[in-house]
Amino acid sequence: MVKIAVIGAGVVGLSTAINIQELVPNATVTLFADKFEKDTTSWGAGGLFRPTFHHIKGDKELIRRWVQASWNFYSAKALSSESKEIGAFLIDGYSFSSKKEADPLLESVTFNVRLLSDKEKECKGFKYPYVHLISTITISPGQLLPYLMRRFQQLGGTSYFKTVASLEEFVGKFDIVVNCTALACRQLIGDESIFPVRGQLRRVRAPWIKNWYLTDDDTYLIPQANGEVTLGGCRQKGNYDLEVDEQLSEDISKRCEQLVPGVTGAEVIFDWVGLRPTREPLRVEKELMDFNGNKLRVVHNYGHGANGISLSWGTAIDAAKLVKDWTRQMSFTSRL
């Protein structure tokens, strides 16, 4: 029986743990984290499946494969009887841009991408040079994270609250450790290439808003499954401040109301701040770490930035395969 520890309980950590359980059925998988559900960055995500190469750096074919795998998983859920449980549903929306061409990554997934005609823009009152109508899906993180945790537990997984100061804590206790600790990697393993991109959003109650809207200056409205709408946003690279900026919240509301006047006066439910853990490129790889002569097999999976949902299932599949590779090496070594 192989003992595997997964550190981190955001969408990446949970997705990775589940994929390991399914790919390595002879393993016991234990999850450790100091943040769960509402305390994670994943919980506050807008949940719109709209990945673009503009915000994801690295090998484009690898990124495309990760996104495709995530799309296959989440779109299937949105079309299944589990859609209500996971908070995933089909939705049309409008992407406003100064560029005529849609992002090729976006066109490679989603159900449909179409450029609106000048007449259509005029009828809808859209002022941007180019507007694309996009049929995609959205996922409510507040429902997704509990769903993933239930699935993990149903597959035999256990979870513990733990603040990990060093991976050395797992030496001799686990055969393989999977690191999905995001920004904590700066302190945990000394990776200074990961950085925060601060985001702030406002959640309002507006069940009459049925489409999503997104501009290339990071103004967006994304309906949720419960009739709430997420308003955003901002991208503040290197900003670690987790306090709500009231002035920015009002600016977000103003921008969204200018874009979609129908949201004006909607009841404000809460404001939220999250730090998107960004690494360019994100890291999915094996590492044999050494702690005073004691070896530890590690698989890293972190740095997804603002595309945690769009990338998570795809990188989780690859991380699970790397865990499987470690188990094969262990089996081979034990036979020698």
Give per-residue pLDDT as tens, 129-139.
999 999 999 99
From residue 15, how far is each of 155, 284, 297, 317, 320 by CA, in Å? 12, 14, 20, 8, 10
The whole-number pLDDT of residue 149 equals 98
Query: How confident is the model over 293-318, as a mean pLDDT?
Result: 97
pLDDT at 86 over 50: yes
97-113: b (≥16 Cβ within 10 Å) or e: beeeebbebbeebbeeb
Q: What is the distance between the alpha carbons of residues 8 and 41, in angstroms, rounded to a whole number?
A: 11
151 is in an annotated binding site: no
Query: How confident is the model over 153-169, as a mean pLDDT?
Result: 98
The strand pairing partners of 274, in sequence order, are 199
Tokens representing residue 181 in the block:
């600790």
Residue range 223-244, pLDDT digits in tens? 998 899 999 999 999 999 999 9
235 is in an annotated binding site: no
41 is in an annotated binding site: yes
The whole-number pLDDT of residue 336 equals 41
Indicate the DSSP class of residue 42. Answer: G
Give every CB contact of residue 318 below 8 A, 6+ residues apart in sequence: 66, 284, 301
The answer to whether the CB of 213 falls within 8 A of the CB of 260 is yes
Report which of 314, 327, 331, 240 is spatially closest to residue 62, judged by C-alpha positions. Answer: 314
3-class secondary structure, 199: strand
CA 120 to chain centre: 33
pTM for the whole thing? 0.96
Query: To the nearest whole number, what is the mean pLDDT of the chain?
Result: 96
* Domains (range + CATH), the chain: 2-335 (3.40.50.720)
From residue 186, how far is each of 46, 172, 176 by CA, in Å? 25, 24, 20
**Residue linked to tokens 């949940």:** 47
Query: How confident is the model over 190-213, as a mean pLDDT?
Result: 97
Residue range 28-50, pLDDT digits in tens? 999 999 999 999 999 999 999 99
Q: Which long-range contacts (CB under 8 A, 24 or more apart) does 292-298 make?
A: 294/168, 294/171, 294/172, 295/171, 296/167, 296/168, 296/170, 296/171, 296/177, 297/175, 297/176, 297/177, 297/326, 297/330, 298/167, 298/176, 298/177, 298/178, 298/179
| Three-class HEC string of 240-280 | CCCCCCHHHHHHHHHHHHHHCHHHCCCEEEEEEEEEEEEEE
**Residue linked to tokens 């406002």:** 202
